[in-house]
C-alpha cells in the first residue's frame, strides 16, 4: 500500500468550473477528502473531480498548501504569507474558502479560515453577524422576542 502511494507522481484536481490543477502528492496531504481517493486508487496518475470547489478558490488553497508544505520557508515567512493571504480577501471569499476547507476536510486550513472569520465578527453585534453571514432569520418577530427573553442574561 505504501509503495503504491509513493509511486504516484502527479495528481490532477478538476474544479467545479472545469479548471485543471496538477499538483504533487505532498500538496494534497492536508486534503483528507482527496487523500482518501488516492488511497483507494492504484494508478500512477490520479485525476480527481472536486465539484464543490471553484477554480479560483482551489488555486488559492493550493497556493496556501504549497507555502506551508515548503521546508525551505521559515516560520516567520509563513506567518507573513498568512497575514497577506487574509488581507487580500473579502468576507465572501473567506466564507467560500471555509466551505471548501470543510468539504476537502483540511484541518489546519479550516482552523486558519475560521480564525480569520472570527476576527471579523469578534465584539460585533448579533445584527452585524447576521449581515456578515447573510443569514435570513426563519423566526417570527414573536419567536425572536421569546428567545431574547429566555436568554436575557446574554443580551444585557
Partner 1 sequence: MKTENKEKNNDMISDLPDCVLLYILSLLNTKDAVQTCILSTRWKNLWKNLPTLRLNSTHLETFQSFAKFVYGILSLRDSTTSLHILDFHRSGIIWPSLLKKILKYAVSHNVQRLNINVSDVVSHLPSCLFSCQTLTSLNLSFKYATVLFPYALNLPALTNLSLKCLIFCAGDDGRVEPFSTLKLLNSLIIKYCKVRDAQNLCISSVTLVNLTMISCPYSFTEFKFELSTPCLLKFKFWGIPIQKLCGSNNNLYSTKHVDINVAMVLNSMDTPFLLLKWLAELANIESLIVSVLSIVPDLFKVEFPFLRNLKSLKVKLRDIELEQAVAMSQTEAVELGVAFDAEFEPFSFVPDGIIDFLIQNSPFVDVNIIDF
Instruction: Give residues in contact with partner 1 (CB under 8 A).
Output: 95-96, 98-99, 102, 110-111, 114-115, 117-118, 121-124, 126, 129-130, 133-140, 143-144, 147-148, 151, 153-156
Closest CA relative to residue 12, chosen from 40, 38, 32: 38
Closest CB to partner 1 among residues 44, 111: 111
CA distances from 73 to 68, 78, 79, 116 (A): 8, 7, 10, 22
Contact indicator for 46, 37 with CB cutoff of 8 Å: yes
The DSSP symbol for 124 reads: -
Closest CA relative to residue 63, chosen from 47, 79, 82, 49: 82
Closest CB to partner 1 among residues 22, 143: 143
Least distance to partner 1 from the beta carbon of 60, Å? 16
Closest CB to partner 1 among residues 40, 138: 138
Closest CB to partner 1 among residues 76, 138: 138
- Residue 10 CA to residue 72 CA, distance in Å, equals 21
Least distance to partner 1 from the beta carbon of 124, Å? 8
Least distance to partner 1 from the beta carbon of 36, Å? 17
Closest CB to partner 1 among residues 47, 103: 103
The DSSP symbol for 42 reads: -
The DSSP symbol for 85 reads: H
Interacting residues of 52 by C-beta distance below 8 A, sequence separation 6+: 16, 99, 100, 103
Least distance to partner 1 from the beta carbon of 147, Å? 5
Least distance to partner 1 from the beta carbon of 108, Å? 12
Amino acid at each position: 500500500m505504501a509503495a503504491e502511494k509513493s509511486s504516484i507522481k502527479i495528481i490532477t484536481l478538476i474544479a467545479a468550473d472545469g479548471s485543471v490543477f496538477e499538483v504533487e502528492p505532498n500538496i494534497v496531504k492536508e486534503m483528507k477528502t482527496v487523500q482518501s481517493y488516492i488511497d483507494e486508487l492504484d494508478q500512477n496518475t490520479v485525476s480527481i473531480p472536486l465539484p464543490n470547489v471553484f477554480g479560483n478558490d482551489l488555486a488559492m488553497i493550493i497556493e496556501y498548501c504549497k507555502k506551508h508544505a515548503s521546508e525551505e520557508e521559515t516560520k516567520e515567512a509563513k506567518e507573513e504569507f498568512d497575514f497577506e493571504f487574509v488581507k487580500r480577501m473579502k468576507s465572501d471569499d473567506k466564507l467560500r474558502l471555509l466551505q471548501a476547507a470543510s468539504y476537502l476536510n483540511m484541518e489546519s486550513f479550516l482552523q486558519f479560515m475560521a480564525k480569520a472569520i472570527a476576527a471579523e465578527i469578534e465584539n460585533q453585534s448579533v445584527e452585524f453577524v447576521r449581515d456578515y453571514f447573510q443569514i435570513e432569520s426563519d423566526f417570527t418577530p414573536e419567536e425572536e422576542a421569546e428567545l431574547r427573553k429566555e436568554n436575557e442574561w446574554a443580551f444585557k
